Amino acid sequence: MSSSSSPPRILQATARNRVIVSYGVAPDRVAPLLPDGLVPARHDGTAYVSLVGVELTKVRVLGLVGPGFRRVPAVELRVHARPVQAPSGEDGTWTVRAHVPRWLVAWGARFLYGEQVEVASMQPLRREQVDTVEVTYRLDWQGREQRIRVRGERTSVMPASDARAHTLLRPTWRFGTTRGGTLLRRPAHVLLSPGTPVTLRWREQM
């Protein structure tokens, strides 16, 4: 399987209220979730997965703004991965499964980028207090309510330049596949600005 250049920009959006919860896991637990051509990215022998909630704004499909596309929330599970025999610095993410409330967005991600995206009822909520900002993503899936809730201090914290958080929060690439199985990669642009609340909490490997 060969890697191709980035696909055309079928889906475009701006991300807001991004929530990222990352866990260290054994590489052999996530390797079966990856397509041919990708292996888990390891840091000190540990692989990582990230549960991500985000609000997509200014969504365009083929350059057009569809009805109800002013804000589209999304929740996805990612594995941090890299191409086989790739040099360092080529790490990215592979989406194991994602949920969105709009079928057109799900269709675009599923058929154009090879991502596993399902349609689910979803509600994002942002609450601002004097010292904190709380973001919640609630979705209904197979008759059960799921929630991701994160609270961060309003005073921003910028990770040190060599912190692992940069790798987890700002992967270099986002991987996908064509319907024929060809591996795709496209740049992932995530900007951490001084005004962005960032709370870092580490836990032991699961």
Contact 69, 49 (CB under 8 A): no
Which tokens is 2 given?
């060969």
Residue type, 11: L
Torsion angle in degrees (nearest 10) through CA of 64, 191, 176, 58: -10
* pLDDT confidence of residue 173: 84
Spell out the SS3 assignment of 98-127.
Answer: EEECCHHHHHHHHHHHCCCEEECCEEEEEE
Which tokens is 198 given?
């960032």
Contact 123, 73 (CB under 8 A): yes
Q: How does 50-77 read in b/e, with b if 16+ C-beta sit within 10 Å? A: bebbbbbeebebeeeeeeebeebbbbbb
* pLDDT confidence of residue 114: 72
* pLDDT confidence of residue 198: 44
Angstrom distance (rounded) from CA 143 to CA 120: 10
Angstrom distance (rounded) from CA 39 to CA 193: 30
* pLDDT confidence of residue 190: 52
* pLDDT confidence of residue 63: 67
User: Domains of the chain by range and CATH?
Assistant: 11-187 (2.40.400.10)
* pLDDT confidence of residue 9: 57
* pLDDT confidence of residue 13: 72
* pLDDT confidence of residue 111: 75
Enumerate helices (H) and strands (E) in the chain, giving the number of each: 3, 11
Closest of 143, 109, 101, 123 to residue 17, by C-alpha = 123
Residues of the chain whose pLDDT is less than 70? 1-12, 61-69, 88-89, 112-113, 189-206
The bridge status of strand 132-141 relative to strand 144-153 is antiparallel
* pLDDT confidence of residue 69: 65
DSSP 150-206: EEEESS--PPPTT-THHHHHS-SEEEEE-TT--EEEEE------TTS----------
